[in-house]
Structure 1
Amino acid sequence: MFKKIALSALMLSLFSFPLLAQQNTTPDAQSQSTTRMGRNRSMQQRPMADPETRARKMTDRMTQQLGLDQTASQKVYDATLTHAQKVDAIRANSDDKGAKAQALKANADDYKAKMKSILTPDQFTKLESMRDKMRHGRGRPNDMKEESDRK
């Protein structure tokens, strides 16, 4: 009886070693699929571009979509550059999340007031709708938008 138990244990251990070695050398299927699907990549933070680049891109986009003339475009660039520089300074210097949020909110309100003074009422309305679309519709399927709106 003892020989049968010992032999069974020996056979079981011999067959289980290759299985353990295989699990340790290859990743499981779930992590392979999430890596291939790119889910982890979207969670990585990319470094932000410098304020001048961000301001130029934003100004170019606004000039094209709002139909700004050269003078208005230059004023928008100056205001956007100032806004971007302040955002970088706030993010770099503030450790307190509450203070950082308040400073960013105040900067955003100041920027919004500058845009309102530079743009015509129609252009400003169009800018606000563009911002809403970017905030609420960024790359999500329609059914996800509706689901999040219900919550």
Structure 2
Amino acid sequence: MFKKIALSGLLLSLFSFPLVAQQTATPDAPVQSNTRMGKSRPMQQQMGDPATRAKKMTDRMTKQLGLDQATSQKVYDVTLARAQKVDAIQASSDDNRAKAQSLKANADDFKAKLKGILTPDQFTKLESMKGHMRNGRGRPDGGSDVKDQN
């Protein structure tokens, strides 16, 4: 009987030792969490400050819509204002429904301002590009983010 208890205790300690060793963390090691990379921060913080986001969006629109310098600057100003409002809405203490309504109103305002800046053809092309992005067809220029490996 004593041999069985001793053997059981020995086996239990041998199997539990690796579990205890894995839980110990060194002080300089980063703390791991169960959240996927970047999911603990809002989308706007992942992408940078409003000015960076506005610049990226304006550059993409300038390239894809063939905007001139003056139109590009107007688009940047409107896009920057939109990005700043989005950050302010996300930082507010409103409930999710109120935030969603504010974000929708901000998006509608942004769309109306762009419609006033862009030509009808450019605006139609922009709407078409947004539709392609929403449908998961990749980048609107027909490329993909994965480079060919040939």
CA distance in 1, matches of 2:117, 2:111: 10
1:109 aligns with 2:113: no
In structure 2, the partner of 1:15 is 11
More displaced stretch, 64-73 vs 44-53: 44-53
Identity of aligned residues (%): 58
Letter in 2 for 1:14: L
Letter in 1 for 2:14: P
| Cα deviations by residue, 1:55-97 (Å, 9 ceiling, x for unpaired) | 1111111001110011211111111111112112222224221
In structure 1, the partner of 2:85 is 86
Gapped regions of structure 2 (runs ≥ 5)? 24-31, 139-150
Letter in 2 for 1:115: L
RMSD: 2.4
SS in 1 for 2:48: coil
In structure 2, the partner of 1:77 is 76
CA distance 1:76–1:96, shift in 2 (3 Å)? same
Structure 2 length-normalised TM: 0.72
CA distance 1:100–1:26, shift in 2 (3 Å)? same
Gapped regions of structure 1 (runs ≥ 5)? 28-34, 140-151
CA distance in 2, matches of 1:89, 1:16: 55
| Cα deviations by residue, 1:93-135 (Å, 9 ceiling, x for unpaired) | 2422111111110010010111112112221122123223333
CA distance 1:42–1:85, shift in 2 (3 Å)? closer
CA distance in 1, matches of 2:93, 2:112: 24
CA distance 1:113–1:50, shift in 2 (3 Å)? same
The Cα shift of 1:137 comes to: 2.1
Q: How many residues align?
A: 125
CA distance in 2, matches of 1:138, 1:60: 21
CA distance 1:93–1:45, shift in 2 (3 Å)? closer
Instruction: Kindly indicate which of the two structures has a greater share of residues assigned to helix.
Output: 1
Structure 1 length-normalised TM: 0.71
